Amino acid sequence: MDSGSESDAFRRAVEELQDAVADQHEARPELTFEPEPPPRRLAPFATALAATVAGAADDSELGGGRFVLLFDPAGQPGWDGRYRIIGYVRTELEPEMAADPLINAVGWSWLTQALEEQAAGHRNISGTVTTVVTQGFGSKQDEPMCTEFELRASWSPVAEPGEDPELSAHLAAWCDVLCTAAGLPPVTPGVAPLRPPRRRRRP
């Protein structure tokens, strides 16, 4: 594949993601998207966007995340394809929910279930789920306990030989995870939020 064809393939991918962002914002008005500088050293081509989830009653932030698309015409070890997606989700949890020993497994199931329900074919998925509890002591002992949830994952979208992957399904799955983690009611049947939405404190 020559460099012109490579650029065209990535341009089509970016255009598809832009259309998918518009569709997601229409389906989920609570979601706000904005472009971000993509990583420069992970692949010859890359694009990235950030999203935040706002509360339904006000503009308080419930969570946020980042979606990165990498494209390497030659592929890379571990990708099993020319494309790689990196997804990041962060939000706050109630302390009692974070104490659940299954919370990390539940958080990971949000992603795998969303990919399945969106029919987003993928392979070589990997990632981590982290919960961090922050508790004040001494002069800060009266500050409320804060529990943060983070999911980081990467996977390769599956495409037919000679075809481009359907990236809109992967973006939709990532948005489903973001909204589920933030406690919003599901749009796709079968995905239940773990807890009611919690207002995120602004710095």
Asked if residue 72 lies in contact with residue 44, where contact means CB atoms within 8 angstroms, the answer is yes
In this predicted structure, what is the pLDDT of residue 198?
Answer: 39
In this predicted structure, what is the pLDDT of residue 53?
Answer: 92
Length of the chain (residues): 203
In this predicted structure, what is the pLDDT of residue 59?
Answer: 64
In this predicted structure, what is the pLDDT of residue 94?
Answer: 72
In this predicted structure, what is the pLDDT of residue 138?
Answer: 74
In this predicted structure, what is the pLDDT of residue 98?
Answer: 66
Give the containing element (helix H, strand E) for 60.
Answer: none
In this predicted structure, what is the pLDDT of residue 111?
Answer: 96
Q: Which phi and psi (to 5°) does residue 185 adopt?
A: -60, 145
In this predicted structure, what is the pLDDT of residue 200?
Answer: 34
Per-residue pLDDT of the chain (203 residues; tens, 9 = 90+): 455 677 888 999 999 999 999 999 998 889 999 999 999 899 999 999 999 998 766 667 889 999 999 999 988 988 988 999 999 999 987 767 767 778 899 999 999 999 999 999 999 999 999 988 776 677 777 777 678 899 999 999 997 777 788 999 999 999 999 998 888 877 655 554 444 433 333 33
Percent of the chain as helix, strand, coil, to the nearest 5: 30, 30, 40
In this predicted structure, what is the pLDDT of residue 148?
Answer: 87
In this predicted structure, what is the pLDDT of residue 58?
Answer: 62
Please name the amino acid found at residue 158. V
In this predicted structure, what is the pLDDT of residue 196?
Answer: 41
Give the C-alpha distances (Å, rounded to integers) separating 121 from 33, 58, 65, 103, 149: 24, 36, 21, 25, 26
CB atoms within 10 A of CB 80: 13
List b or e across 168-196, with b for residues whose CB sees 16 or more CB atoms inside 10 angstroms: bbbbbbbbbbbbbbbbbeeeeeebeebee
